[in-house]
Structure 1
Amino acid sequence: MIYCETDRLILRDWHEDDLLHFQKMNANHDVRKYFPSLLSYRRSELDMRKMDTIIKDYGIGLFAVEEKASRQWIGFIGLNYIPETSEYPFKELPLYEIGWRLLPQYWGQGMATEGAKAVLELAKKHNIQDVYSFTAEANKASQRVMEKIGMSYYDQFELPHLSKYHLLKRQVRYYIDLSK
């Protein structure tokens, strides 16, 4: 099922054909530069199935993204629900996080921004008002996307599961109020 479209993108359910592409993306060092580790093929499979189930159950989630012109899978963009039981040190739990991960050949073309704006419009239709996003402090490209979609810097925090000397421990968080 297609949940939304933009000029260049289709945000849809996950298909079995997406799995190999998703697994390769999660094993790519450039894509995973701002994550603590690469993901195994098995972990990628489990994550994809979970994302697809959430979309089918709630009509919103982390959508598979196709480039319209080529009909090729290029990554995912969407909302991730973070429950109260999460390990994240946020007083606002539960919350919705907007996120994206695209194949490197699609970086720097405004596609993450385009898809994320469409996801925020979809969030409004689901009566979601507060949306956050976070990334490693060093990930300036992702922070620029957050700003381009109307988010503002909110705070910094540390990932609790990483050692205090880990390069990715310090994270920045952005926020947007969709009720305005």
Structure 2
Amino acid sequence: MVYIETARLRLRSWQDTDLPLLQRLNANRQVRQFFPSILSHQRTAKVFTPMKAYLETHHIGLFAVELKATKEWIGLIGLNYLPKTNDYPFRDLPFYEIGWRLMPDVWNNGIATEGAIAVLNYAQQQGIEEVYAIAAEQNLASIRVMEKIGMTRYDKFENRHLGLQHPLKRQVRYHIDLTKSQQSS
């Protein structure tokens, strides 16, 4: 099912044929440079089915992204629901976090920004009032996307799941109030 279309993108539900593509994305060191590690094919397969089912059930989540012109799968963009749990250092849980992960050959073309704006508009239509985004402080490209889509820096924190000396331990969180904003593509 196609949920969102933009000038260049189609954000859709997951198909079983997407699994090997997602495994390749998650095993790419360049794509995962601001994550603690790459994901094994087994770990990606383990999260694929629940991710696919969540989107099918709730019609919100992480969408498979393809180029409209070629139907080439290029990654994922969407919302991840963070429940109230002790796994995160935030007092304002639960909330939705927007994120994107794209193949390097489509970077620096405005695709993350275009898709993220469309996801925020879709979230607003679904009645979601606010969205956050999280990135390592060094992930300047993602931070630029957050700012381009109208998000503002909300706070910073240390990811307690990473070691004391881990280079990605310091992270930033951005926020947008969808009741006060209207994204445009």
The TM-score with structure 2 as length reference comes to 0.96
Alpha-carbon offset, residue 152 of structure 1: 0.4
Aligned residue in 2 for 1:175: 175
How far apart, in 1, do the equivalents of 2:140 and 2:86 lie? 25
Tell me which stretches of 4 or more aligned residues in structure 1 moved more than 3 Å: none
Letter in 2 for 1:158: E
Paired residue secondary structure (2:4): strand
- For residues 73-112 of structure 1, the C-alpha deviation after alignment (integer angstroms, 9 at most, x for no partner) is 0000000000001511011100100000000001000000
Aligned residue in 1 for 2:102: 102
How far apart, in 2, do the equivalents of 1:28 and 1:132 lie? 25
- For residues 12-69 of structure 1, the C-alpha deviation after alignment (integer angstroms, 9 at most, x for no partner) is 0011111111101111110000000110101111222121111111010000000111
Aligned residue in 2 for 1:28: 28
Aligned residues: 180
Letter in 2 for 1:110: G
Paired residue secondary structure (2:16): coil
Aligned residue in 2 for 1:54: 54
Identity of aligned residues (%): 56
Aligned residue in 1 for 2:183: none
How far apart, in 2, do the equivalents of 1:164 and 1:137 lie? 15
Q: Any gaps of 5 or more consecutive residues in structure 1?
A: none
How far apart, in 2, do the equivalents of 1:14 and 1:100 lie? 15
Paired residue secondary structure (2:81): strand
Alpha-carbon offset, residue 130 of structure 1: 1.0
The TM-score with structure 1 as length reference comes to 0.98
Aligned residue in 2 for 1:151: 151
How far apart, in 1, do the equivalents of 2:74 and 2:68 lie? 10
Is the Cα–Cα contact under 8 Å of residues 51 and 63 in structure 1 kept in the other structure? Answer: no
Letter in 2 for 1:175: H
Alpha-carbon offset, residue 70 of structure 1: 1.1
Paired residue secondary structure (1:66): strand
Q: Any gaps of 5 or more consecutive residues in structure 2?
A: 181-185
What is the Cα-based RMSD across aligned positions, in Å? 0.7
